[in-house]
Amino acid sequence: MRRQAAQRLVAALFALLALLFGVLIVSAHAQAAAGADVSESVPNLLSLAGIARAWREFWAIVGPGGKLHPAYFLEHKGHLVIEAALIVVIVYLALQHSFKVHPRAEDPLTDKEIDQLCKEWTPEPLVPTLPESERIEPTVITGIDGPYVYVQGRKEKVLQMAASNYLGMAADKEAKDVSVAAVDKYGVGSCGPRGFYGTIDVHLELEEELAKFYGTEAAIIYSYDVATVASIIPAVTNRKDIIVCDEFCSYAVQAGYTVSRSRLRTFKHNDVADLERVIQELEAEEKAKRRPLCRKLIIVEGIYANYGDLAPLDRIALIKEKYKYRLMVDESHAFGVLGATGRGACEHFGLKPEQVDIIAASMSHAMGSVGGFCVGDRTIVDHQRLSGSGYCFSASLPPYLAVAGINMLRRLRAGTTPSSGGSSGQQQGDKAGSGGAGEVLPKLHSKIRAFRTDLMRGVPGLKLYGGGVLSPVLHLHVAKPVSEAADTAALRRVAELMLTSGCGGGVGGVLVGVPQYASIEHRRPPPSLEIFVTLGLGDKELGLAAGALRKAAKEVFKQ
């Protein structure tokens, strides 16, 4: 401590000396300049001769031999002034120590006063007390059986429609078998970040498979879904850059742009004209302020997790090309569902992988694993390997989950994902056999269409958001909203009734979710009942679910 203080003192003294020296030189220089003859009359700038004289006088000072010529300046050690100024700056910066406790500049508080203030201060409690209505116990699952689950406290199995296990991979026998084999070989955890011997061969294999699946140069995997997008955004943008984002984007995107501290603009949900307006405004501003070229990013979700509708990617891609913005698409819910080969919303809208700069997705939906990935060209992926905080500073994905992911990708390509469950749900091992993804995905699509069409025919008191779009995420909003709390309570009651009032055929009920949103979210979506359509659900199950939903809704929203 004392040594540091002494060092600072010496530095400060040195700075003072340098400053003094600088001032002396400047004053000497000024004296020399003031000695010039000032008695002559001011030249008349309206006449040619006057201008010529003014120029000559000017040149006599600025030209070679003049007192403002750089040579004169150097000759009279003028550079020392600049050097002294620089030293002062360096010393100033050196004294800016981050550990310094800054006391008040004027009239500092005495120790006694500080003690008194500290004694007087009463902090708020660490957390506010939760109202009783917000304390909810989630349904506890005790077993999984194809599209059905067993829940605690109930004997009969119930339909699982609260999980986004779109292709049934999470409960699939082959997926379980390869996972178990991987646990035997690699253990469960990877015990280290990717950089520090936490890279396991299956991670590399999964990245290779993903790149191959998307036809991109490279892929990178993260170990958690919300950390994926939240790490990618700060890696590719910072304070100087621009993000234009759909107003309905999920929490992961919000967390990402908050950490990146970029300049953020939002556009109206799925409104391409508004997107163009926002971009035009931004471009005009950039031009007016003559800012250098910065990284510009448009962020949308393929299927919006909190609403269940699709982004019009074809039109967004046109705008992106026109204004030279990069496009980032969060394909979490669309991956493995949309498109002819399951590549997601980009494929659905006919975009080629190279038209989208960054594709990110969660591996915890259709893939039936955990984690997230990003595909794109090598520069973008390699950049994340050094700058993606969730990649660099976190332990890597447990190897068995990577193996489950590889298994899913290979089978999606080969078309051997678990076939539709039918009525009993016992055929988990049943394979579609042939035909590739080309057969599995249309089956899923037809189920989504059928269920959506069914619900669009009307559910008492509820309204399906997005109508007939091809999306397996269904959000039912209250048709006549009262207040956030009341609507949430009503929807929760619907979900509870659906779970507990049996729907016949040996099925105890339907498990659906009512999403909750954190108080820290910038913009909370309206309360909704969230239902996922998965491949495992047969016509019978979908019918049962719609029936149970109508019955429960009728009971709650008595009309």
Partner 1 sequence: MEDFVQPPFLVIADTLFVLSCCMLFGRLRDFVCWLLNPFGQRKKGKEGYAHIRDPTEDFYLRRMYGRIVDCWNRPISSAPDAWFDVMDRKRIKEPSGQDVAEIVNTGTSTRCLNLASYNYLGFAASDPYCTPQVVDTIGQLGVSGCSPRVLGGTTVAHTELEDLVAQYLNVEAAITYGMGFATNSSTIPALVGKGCLILSDSLNHSSIVAGARQSGAKIKVFRHNDAKHLDALLRQSIADGQPRSHRPWKKVLVIVEGVYSMEGEACNLKDVVAVSKRHRAYIYLDEAHSIGALGGTGRGCCEHWGVDPRDIDIMMGTFTKSFGSCGGYIAGKKPVIDFLRRHSPAHLYACAMAPGCVKQVTAALQVVMGLDGTGRGAAKVQQLHDNANYTRARLLEMGLDALGSWDSPVMPIMTYSPAKMVALSRELLQRRMAMVIVGFPATPLLLTRSRICISAAHSREDLDWALEQLDELATLCNLRHGNTALKAHMEASLKDHIRRHFGEAAAAAATVAG
**CB nearer to partner 1: pick between 7 and 379:** 379
Task: Tell me the residue type at 471.
Answer: S
* Closest residue by Cα to residue 267 from 281, 256, 255: 281
* Closest residue by Cα to residue 328 from 306, 287, 361, 350: 361
125 phi/psi in degrees, rounded to 5: -60, 155
DSSP string, 417-463: SBPP-TTT---TT-B--SS-HHHHHHHHHHHHHHHHHHHHT-BTTEE
Nearest distance in Å: CB 239, partner 1: 12
Q: Which stretch binds partner 1 (CB under 8 A): 40-48, 128-136, 267-275, 477-485?
A: 128-136
**CB nearer to partner 1: pick between 209 and 530:** 530
Q: Residue 471, interface with partner 1 (CB under 8 A)? A: no
**CB nearer to partner 1: pick between 176 and 413:** 176
**CB nearer to partner 1: pick between 48 and 293:** 293
- Residue whose tokens read 């199995």: 157
* C-alpha dist (Å) from residue 143 to 156, 255, 417: 11, 33, 21
Q: Residue 290, interface with partner 1 (CB under 8 A)? A: no
Q: Residue 133, interface with partner 1 (CB under 8 A)? A: no
Q: Residue 507, interface with partner 1 (CB under 8 A)? A: no
Nearest distance in Å: CB 112, partner 1: 11
Structure tokens at 363: 């591996």
Q: Which of 24, 52, 68, 188 binds partner 1 (CB under 8 A)?
A: 188
Nearest distance in Å: CB 126, partner 1: 5
Q: What distance in Å separates the CA atoms of residue 317 and residue 314, rounded to the nearest whole number?
A: 5
Nearest distance in Å: CB 288, partner 1: 19
- How long is the chain? 559
The 3-class SS string of 385-401 reads HHHCHHHHCCECCCHHH
Q: Are 387 and 137 in contact (CB under 8 A)?
A: no
Which value, to the nearest 10 degrees, does the dihedral of the CA atoms of residues 332, 333, 336, 339 take? -110
Nearest distance in Å: CB 337, partner 1: 13
Q: Which stretch binds partner 1 (CB under 8 A): 45-53, 78-86, 188-196, 345-353?
A: 188-196
Nearest distance in Å: CB 408, partner 1: 9
Interacting residues with partner 1 between 318 and 357 (CB under 8 A): 324, 326
Interacting residues with partner 1 between 390 and 409 (CB under 8 A): 390, 392-395, 397-398, 400-401, 404
**CB nearer to partner 1: pick between 139 and 270:** 139
Interacting residues with partner 1 between 511 and 550 (CB under 8 A): 511, 513, 515-521, 530
Q: What distance in Å separates the CA atoms of residue 31 and residue 381, rounded to the nearest whole number?
A: 62
Interacting residues with partner 1 between 152 and 171 (CB under 8 A): 152, 160-165, 169-171
| Number of neighbours of residue 317 by Cβ within 10 angstroms | 20
Q: Which of 266, 362, 416, 417 binds partner 1 (CB under 8 A)?
A: 362
